[in-house]
Chain A
Amino acid sequence: MISVTDLHKSFGKVEVLKGMSCEIAASEVVCLIGPSGSGKSTFLRCLNLLESITAGTVIINGHNLGDPKLDKITVRKDVGMVFQQFNLFPHLKVLDNIMLAPLKVGKKDRLATEQKALELLEKVGLSDKADAYPSALSGGQQQRVAIARALAMDPAVMLFDEPTSALDPETVGDVLEVMKRLAEEGMTMVVVSHEMGFAREVADRVIFIDEGLIVEEGKPTEMFDNPRHERTRAFLRRVS
């Protein structure tokens, strides 16, 4: 589903990703962990071209992101993204937030789109909020709407960029619950997260990134209980 080979990313003279390679299979749930500034968010943002790729190849759902003739929109239709700050559109009601992309990008039928949006809202447990504006929702509710909005495009892959870091502790659970259900349904997910509990419980694989490189990867149990690298151990000691 996702194949990354020797990915480099520089901002000016600063090299943030220093040659990362990994393969992610369909229906796999991968958690990226690592200290802040390690490049895990940048890695995620390269996967849907929010950041341009400096060198290396990324192939995602059959699209080669390095291809200069590639239309970014075709990639983004296949890749949903959930942001730390939700980034809901504040001038649109919840339902319109979800329907905007299918209507304008997917050019779908309005009635069917609305039906789908309502189903997605039900799925994230917010059926009663269809006509609310984002500002009337709690952080956790906004993030669940953001997940529904990304799902409305029927993506093949979902990227989560620290989806619970900006939330009040009591609303984190609802969001993780939605993500867990999504994982169970077989969605391919790449999650940058500090939620070690979620990584341990839901992820098929955990990748530890430090200073722009993949230090170590493995099954969550191996990674958390028996990390091989000293840097991984040091990081896990600090976060747990």
Chain B
Amino acid sequence: MGDLLTYLPPLARGAWMTIILCLIVGVAGSILGFVIGLARASSIGVLRWVSAIYTNFLRGIPLLIILLFTYFALPLLIPGADFSQLMSGAIGLTLFVSAYIAEVVRGAIESVPRGQYEAAEALGLGFFNKFRYVIVPQAMRVMVPPWVGILLAMIKDSSLVSVIGFVDLTQAGKIVGTTTMQPLWAFVVVGAVYFFICYPLGRFGRWYEKRLSISLARPPDTLQILMPAVTGLLEHEPPELPESPESPRDAGGTT
């Protein structure tokens, strides 16, 4: 155990890299996913078509392959590009996560009743105002829980970036475990750190959900329909919204 203490700095550095990576991917993946989700739900055929290919394609490829591709193959496609491991890992994870978020955004937007679009249009609201003030606020309530679920899954999936040699928390744990010959303690610490990274996000999700349901007085059934999608995601299934008959589980996602 004493040995392990001297190896805490590398573990902390690994944890820090994981946090940095997840912050980048969380922000970039959310923005990209949101935009693609809007395209998925749009009335413009070309946008729908292109975004459908994007999401279906990326959801059909293992994350591991995406990461290997962005690290080894992408620089070949873009001459002169010199991606760091962090950069490659961030790009790969962002692509992967955005595809899942896009599907959640699409589902949430399509769950807003037709009449809301018509009322907004009949009042003369243009495309931007309609989405900004009428559709998205209502869809938000539906999309946030599965969205948080995807981000939680992403934090844990980020451990896969060790395959491209990025020293994240998992890789640091592996190194420390082997050097100290105490893999048990090393991985207990690593697991605990992942938990403490994930837990606040889960809490935030719950808090945000509550806040939305206070300000939004609509029957709460939409949330209950979507909760299985969250649990499904944590187990790496595509978030097909209405399916998955499992009972709703804690969105805090500490699995």
Question: B126-139 vs A: 1/0 string, CB under 8 Å?
Answer: 10010001100110
**Interface 9-residue window, one of B196-204, B213-221, B227-235:** B213-221
A91 at the interface (CB under 8 A from B): yes
Number of interface residues of A (CB under 8 A): 28
Kindly list chain B residues whose C-beta atoms are within 8 Å of the C-beta of A149: 123
Kindly list chain B residues whose C-beta atoms are within 8 Å of the C-beta of A133: 216-217
Question: A124-143 vs B: 1/0 string, CB under 8 Å?
Answer: 00000000011110000000
**Interface 9-residue window, one of B114-122, B180-188, B242-250:** B114-122
A16 to B129, CA, bound (A): 31
B125 at the interface (CB under 8 A from A): yes
Known: A104-B129, A104-B133. A89 touches B116 (CB 8 A): yes
B79 at the interface (CB under 8 A from A): no
Known: A104-B133, A133-B217. A48 touches B122 (CB 8 A): yes
Question: A73-92 vs B: 1/0 string, CB under 8 Å?
Answer: 10011011101010111110
Within 8 A of A (CB), among B150-169: none
A-side residues, CB < 8 A to B, are 48, 50, 72-73, 76-77, 79-81, 83, 85, 87-91, 100-101, 104-105, 133-136, 146, 149-150, 153
A146 to B120, CA, bound (A): 12
Q: Which residue of A lies closest to B216 (CB)?
A: A91
B124 at the interface (CB under 8 A from A): yes
A105, A150, A153: most-surrounded residue (chain B CB, <10 A): A105
Given A50-B122, A85-B115, A90-B216, 5 extra CB contacts under 8 A: A48-B122, A101-B124, A135-B218, A150-B123, A153-B124
Number of interface residues of B (CB under 8 A): 22
CB pair B218–A100 under 8 Å, yes or no, is no
CB pair B124–A91 under 8 Å, yes or no, is no
CB pair B118–A76 under 8 Å, yes or no, is no
B-side residues, CB < 8 A to A, are 113, 115-116, 118-126, 129, 133-134, 137-138, 141, 215-218
Q: Which residue of A lies closest to B132 (CB)?
A: A104
CB pair A90–B217 under 8 Å, yes or no, is yes
Give the secondary structure class of B's interface: helix
Q: In the complex, what's the smallest C-beta–C-beta distance from A136 to chain B, in angstroms? A: 7
Q: In the complex, what's the smallest C-beta–C-beta distance from B252 to chain A, in angstroms? A: 25
Q: Which residue of B lies closest to A90 (CB)?
A: B218
Kindly list chain B residues whose C-beta atoms are within 8 Å of the C-beta of A72: 121
Say which residue of A81, A91, A150 sits within 8 Å of B137 (CB atoms): A91
24 contacts between A and B (CB under 8 A): A48-B122, A50-B122, A73-B124, A73-B126, A77-B124, A80-B122, A87-B115, A87-B118, A87-B119, A89-B134, A90-B217, A100-B123, A101-B124, A101-B125, A104-B125, A104-B129, A104-B133, A105-B126, A105-B129, A133-B217, A135-B217, A135-B218, A136-B217, A153-B123
Q: In the complex, what's the smallest C-beta–C-beta distance from B55 to chain A, in angstroms? A: 27
A135 to B125, CA, bound (A): 23
Kindly list chain B residues whose C-beta atoms are within 8 Å of the C-beta of A104: 125, 129, 133
Kindly list chain B residues whose C-beta atoms are within 8 Å of the C-beta of A135: 217-218
Q: In the complex, what's the smallest C-beta–C-beta distance from B251 to chain A, in angstroms? A: 21
CB pair A83–B138 under 8 Å, yes or no, is no
A76 to B138, CA, bound (A): 23
CB pair B218–A89 under 8 Å, yes or no, is no
A83, A89, A105, A134: most-surrounded residue (chain B CB, <10 A): A89
Kindly list chain A residues whose C-beta atoms are within 8 Å of the C-beta of B121: 50, 72, 76
Kindly list chain A residues whose C-beta atoms are within 8 Å of the C-beta of B113: 87
A89 to B215, CA, bound (A): 12
Kindly list chain B residues whose C-beta atoms are within 8 Å of the C-beta of A90: 138, 216-218
Q: Which residue of A lies closest to B219 (CB)?
A: A135
Nearest 5 interchain pairs by C-beta: A87-B119, A76-B124, A101-B123, A81-B122, A87-B115
CB pair A83–B118 under 8 Å, yes or no, is yes
Kindly list chain B residues whose C-beta atoms are within 8 Å of the C-beta of A136: 217
Kindly list chain B residues whose C-beta atoms are within 8 Å of the C-beta of A89: 116, 119-120, 134, 138
